[in-house]
């Protein structure tokens, strides 16, 4: 983001500009800035530019990805989230680090709590920070939290290509189920499994490797053709339907879901006890009818919750960024990809 000065017929005109690179389409987005020294004018331009970027990005999405479930207005909301999340990461780094740590604690707590883990949010934070036991809590509950921390530290935070492969999925599961050797960490199940409280019967064990191969190939073949939120939702719900492991399917699936969302510029979605019933209901809808619309709209609603959080943080901290822009007529633009 930068302030650009143009001189036309000896008159100075100012614009707040940004260059975005989305799906191979590189565009410079510009809004008029009446007075770069005016706080009110710069505030207005800042809002206008973010809105304009979301609209332009959505046009590219609609042209190149042709969403099947989400409406144009919903795509615009998601693209607003993507850009604000990028601003947050790039310009408010110290705040983002603490935000990211807090977000991970909430994600980890939610992911294990929907499976029956009884640790509180505060206890989860203590385990993640110190890797110590909690009085009155079982070793297995503590280990579940430590395992999710290890997935983040050993797999997700490393600067390497996170292309979805069978090897990566098995690696994630191995960390998720570390120290639960009777649950075959890092290996597909070798027997039938049943989902408690569900009428869905997962496929027989011998079919799992073939179904997983088909699912991964489908994703890799379509990830550049379909909108990221939609195909990620489809991937997660089909993964849970296959139920490829003896245990840890939900935790592994939610790790994959958030890995792909983050790779596409979105924050994590947090699935917890507050939305567990909606989550389970959306999964069952797909298992009954292969309809993934309900699950996609569920993920969209979770991303909207994150949008409100991140938009608030950006607006609260925007003075830092705008003050930097006032000091320079032009700064290097950031990429949006």
Query: Angle at CA 239, nearest 5°, toward 234 and 243?
Result: 150
| Tokens (6 digits) for 72 | 């144009």
Tell me which DSSP letter residue 296 carries. H
Strand partners, 7: 12
Per-residue pLDDT of the chain (337 residues; tens, 9 = 90+): 888 888 888 888 889 998 887 777 788 899 999 988 888 999 999 999 999 999 999 998 998 888 999 999 999 999 999 999 999 998 888 889 999 999 999 999 999 999 999 999 999 999 999 988 899 999 999 999 999 999 999 988 866 667 899 999 999 999 999 999 899 999 999 998 877 767 778 899 999 999 999 999 999 999 999 999 999 999 999 999 999 999 999 999 999 999 999 999 999 999 999 999 999 999 888 877 778 899 999 999 999 999 999 999 999 888 888 887 777 655 444 444 4
For the chain, give every domain's residue range.
Answer: 2-90+315-327
Sheet holding 25-33, edge to edge: 2-8, 11-22, 25-33
Q: What share of the chain is helix, strand, coil (3-state, %, to 5)?
A: 60, 10, 30
Q: What is the pLDDT of residue 197?
A: 65
pTM score of the predicted model: 0.91
The residue among 110, 114, 142, 107 whose CA lies nearest residue 126 is 142
Tell me which DSSP letter residue 184 carries. -
Q: How many CB atoms lie within 10 A of CB 293?
A: 16
Q: What is the pLDDT of residue 153?
A: 93
Q: How many CB atoms lie within 10 A of CB 159?
A: 5
């Amino acid at each position: 983001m930068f302030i650009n000065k143009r001189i036309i017929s000896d008159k100075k005109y100012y614009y707040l500009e940004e260059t975005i690179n989305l799906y191979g389409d590189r565009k410079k987005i510009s809004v008029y800035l009446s007075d770069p020294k005016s706080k009110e004018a710069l505030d207005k331009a800042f809002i206008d530019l973010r809105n304009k970027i979301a609209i332009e990005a959505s046009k590219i999405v609609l042209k190149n990805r042709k969403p099947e479930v989400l409406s144009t207005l919903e795509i615009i909301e998601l693209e607003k989230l993507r850009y604000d999340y990028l601003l947050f990461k790039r310009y408010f780094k110290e705040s983002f680090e603490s935000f990211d740590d807090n977000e991970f604690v909430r994600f980890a707590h939610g992911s294990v709590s929907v499976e029956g883990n009884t640790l509180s949010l505060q206890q989860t934070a203590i385990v993640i920070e110190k890797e110590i036991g909690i009085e009155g809590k079982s070793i297995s509950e503590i280990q579940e939290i430590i395992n999710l921390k290890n997935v983040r530290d050993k797999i997700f935070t490393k600067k390497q290509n996170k292309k979805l492969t069978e090897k990566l999925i098995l690696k994630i599961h191995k960390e998720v189920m570390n120290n639960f050797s009777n649950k075959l960490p890092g290996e597909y199940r070798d027997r039938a499994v049943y989902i408690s409280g569900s009428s869905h019967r997962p496929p027989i064990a011998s079919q799992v490797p073939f179904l997983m191969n088909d699912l991964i190939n489908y994703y890799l073949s379509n990830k550049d053709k379909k909108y990221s939120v939609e195909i990620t939702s489809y991937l997660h719900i089909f993964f849970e339907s296959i139920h490829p492991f003896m245990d840890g399917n939900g935790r592994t699936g939610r790790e994959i879901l958030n890995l792909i969302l983050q790779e596409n510029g979105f924050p994590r979605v947090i699935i917890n006890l507050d939305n567990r019933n909606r989550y389970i209901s959306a999964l069952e809808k797909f298992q009954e009818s292969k309809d993934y619309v309900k699950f996609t709209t569920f993920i969209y609603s979770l991303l909207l919750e994150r949008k409100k959080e991140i938009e608030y943080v950006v607006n609260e901290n925007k003075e830092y960024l705008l003050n930097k822009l006032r000091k320079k007529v032009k700064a290097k633009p950031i990429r949006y990809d």
